[in-house]
Amino acid sequence: MSRISPIVYEHAAPDVRAEHDRELQLRGRMTNMKRIMLHSPVAHRIYAEWFTLRELLRPALPDRAIWLLSLAIAQTSHADVPVTFFRRALIDAGIQPETIVPDADESVLMDFGRAIVADANAVPERLWSRLIARYDEPTLVNLVAFAGIMIATTVFTNVVEVDLDPELHSYRAAPEDAPITIDRLDHLVLTVKNIESTCTFYSTILGMTVETFGEGRKALRFGNQKINLHEAGHEYEPKAKSPVSGSGDLCFIASTPLDAVIAHLGAHDITIEEGPVVRTGATGPIRSVYIRDPDGNLIEIANYAVD
């Protein structure tokens, strides 16, 4: 059951009734989310700008592209109501969400939707390059704003636990075999010989932030992830079965251009073991150099290749 009750039209204030009637006149239907939002006509109108932006995007983005972008955002946000809403849009258009093969433009939009939900501060430059190659700046402004309202919609439905509309139930995805879905890496643990020298290396050479947490424990933060440090022979419980220093092999994506990274490494007399070389990253080709940290862990520093 929703955490906030929907309005009851007969008992609603005049401004709420007026907004309700306006919405029905404009779009012809009322949903559980709208009925809840109507407690605040201002909030309802702000969220309803989704439709305004959608119309502004129509010359560049057909319905199917908008549906797939919105579905990608909703799925990544684990938002059942909007996921099912856009599944219905696709299915009613004769498109099966489970078997659809997105075209190149749709794939870029879906990747963008997933990326901004995962971390709006870390949208890959190569992905943004693909967007600016396709859309002019006014379209990009509308696209980012549209995605922002779409994310806000998922936040609202998730926090309020909006009930699924009865007409959407038959469009829900069948339960998957996998019992869980892993979203992203939060942190990892490195076992090191000397925590102080490790902190100095990663902060000075790689620009990470040293943090203290718990009872004096140390971590290295970058973006929305961190590396927790264990001192060899004095590990915290629970720990890996065989914690060994120097056994790590890590790849970090730098926002700094790789040529500047190489110059920085040279200024600090850090030996480059290999590179620059082209490798395959998690989402595409990367250009990398390899170095060692004080424990001998292999550290790859890379930029994603720009299409």
Domain residue limits, the chain: 9-171, 187-304
Query: If we measure between CA atoms, which residue out of 21, 9, 292, 38 comes closest to residue 162?
Result: 38
Is 211 among the catalytic positions?
no
Q: Which CATH number fits domain 9-171: 1.10.3720.10, 1.10.600.10, 1.20.1290.10, 3.40.920.10?
A: 1.20.1290.10
Write the DSSP string, 44-67. Answer: HHHHHHHHHHHHHHTTTS-HHHHH
Domain at 187-304, CATH homologous superfamily:
2,3-Dihydroxybiphenyl 1,2-Dioxygenase, domain 1 (3.10.180.10)
Q: Find the helix packing angle between 137-160 and 80-92, rounded to 10°.
A: 120
Cα-Cα-Cα-Cα dihedral sign, residues 42, 43, 45, 46: positive
Query: If we measure between CA atoms, which residue out of 188, 166, 153 comes closest to residue 73?
Result: 153
- Per residue of the chain (307 residues), give pLDDT as tens: 899 999 999 999 999 999 999 999 999 989 999 999 999 999 999 999 999 999 999 999 999 999 999 999 999 999 999 999 999 999 999 999 988 999 999 999 999 999 999 999 989 999 999 999 999 999 999 999 999 999 999 999 999 999 999 899 999 987 665 566 677 889 999 999 999 999 999 999 999 999 999 989 999 999 889 999 999 998 888 998 999 999 999 999 999 999 999 999 999 999 999 999 999 888 778 999 999 999 999 999 999 876 5
Q: Which of 19, 23, 106, 300 is catalytic?
A: 300
* Amino acid, single-letter form, for residue 189: V
